[in-house]
Each structure stands twice: as structure tokens, then as C-alpha cells.
Amino acid sequence: MVKELKNNTEPKKRKAGAPLGNQNALGCTTSGRPPFDKKVEAEAFLKWALTEEALVLRMFAPLRGYSFDTMMRWCDEDIEFCQVYEMCKGLVGARRELKLINIGSSVPYQRYATYYDKKLQEHERDEKKFEANLSKDTTTEVSEGFTKALQSVFGMINEAKESSKKSNKNQSSQRNIDDNNINNDA
């Protein structure tokens, strides 16, 4: 009888696999969710992007049960998935642009003009480089000019001090001479 009590109080050791009572995972030999098949997800992603409801790219991953970061990691790992992602991004972006154009907005052209025009992209890139170099050159010129101006001002101040000392000496020596003349006259 004592042996029976010991057996009943000891916890049963389980094999790895599905949780107890999970009828959906009968026969499962591993624990956790099965990994997603990237090819299946890429096909589903493209199919979703072709629907009218697809307006926000980040919505697809949570609808399928994983995070957007996981989808981005797949883009880094799998070139085919990355290509599908780029196609879906273009489809969703074009749909959003069309919706804005249909309501009379000019924002799509302003926002995406460089996206479509390669020469405009190059021009804007060159323009940004030019402005960066220009501000760098201007900063150097201003700092050099400012330094020269400060040196000039300090030089003028020093000259004024020296001339003030000389004039003070001349005035004091003139006073001494005048004082001596007055004393001699008296």
C-alpha cells in the first residue's frame, strides 16, 4: 500500500511533444509551432497584395501569425522572398497612390517622383552632395574670415593701448616740464 501512494504522488515524466490534452497536436513529436514555409508565405503575400484591402504592408505578417520583423529577416535570408516583398511593396504603394489621386491629391507625384525617375534621383543625389560640400566650404571660409577679423580687432586694441600708454607718458612728462617751469618761475 505504501508503494502505491509513492507512485501516485510522484509527478509523471513526459516525453517532449504536444502539451497534454491538445487534441490538435496528436502524434506531434516536437514541441512548438512548426516553422513557416517561406515559399508558401511568399505566394500568400503576393496573393494578398493583389487584393483591394492591401494598403499597409505591415498588416500581412500579423494576419499570418508572425511578426513583421520575421518577414524582414526572411528578406535578408532568402532572395526569392525578398523579390516577392519588393513586388508587393510596389503593388501596395501604387494602390495607395491611386487612392490619393482619386481624391484629387498631388502628394503622390511629389512623394514618389524620384522613385520612378532615375535621372531625377541622380540629380537630387548630386544636389545634396553639392549642398553638403558648399556648407562645408562656407563654414571653413567663415571661420577663417572670422579668425582674421578677430586678429585685426585685437591688433587695433593693442595699438590703442600702446598709443594710450605713449600719450600718457608724453602728457606726464609734459606736466613735469610745465611743473618745473612753474617752479623755476616762482
Write out pLDDT tens, residues 148-174: 877 887 888 888 888 877 776 666 666
Residue 81's pLDDT is 93
Residue 1's pLDDT is 47
Using CA atoms, how far residue 152 sits from 146, 149, 158, 160, in Å, is 10, 5, 10, 12
Nearest to 112, CA basis, from 126, 127, 101:
101
Which residue stretches of the chain have pLDDT < 50? 1-2
Residue 108's pLDDT is 62
CA–CA gap between residue 20 and residue 17 (Å, rounded) = 9
CA–CA gap between residue 45 and residue 47 (Å, rounded) = 5
Using CA atoms, how far residue 69 sits from 16, 56, 61, 115, 121, in Å, is 29, 15, 9, 24, 29
Residue 98's pLDDT is 86
The alpha carbon torsion through 56, 58, 62, 63 (nearest 10 deg) reads 30
CA–CA gap between residue 54 and residue 48 (Å, rounded) = 6
Residue 117's pLDDT is 66
Residue 151's pLDDT is 82
Residue 41's pLDDT is 92
* 88: its cell numbers: 508587393
CA–CA gap between residue 179 and residue 186 (Å, rounded) = 11
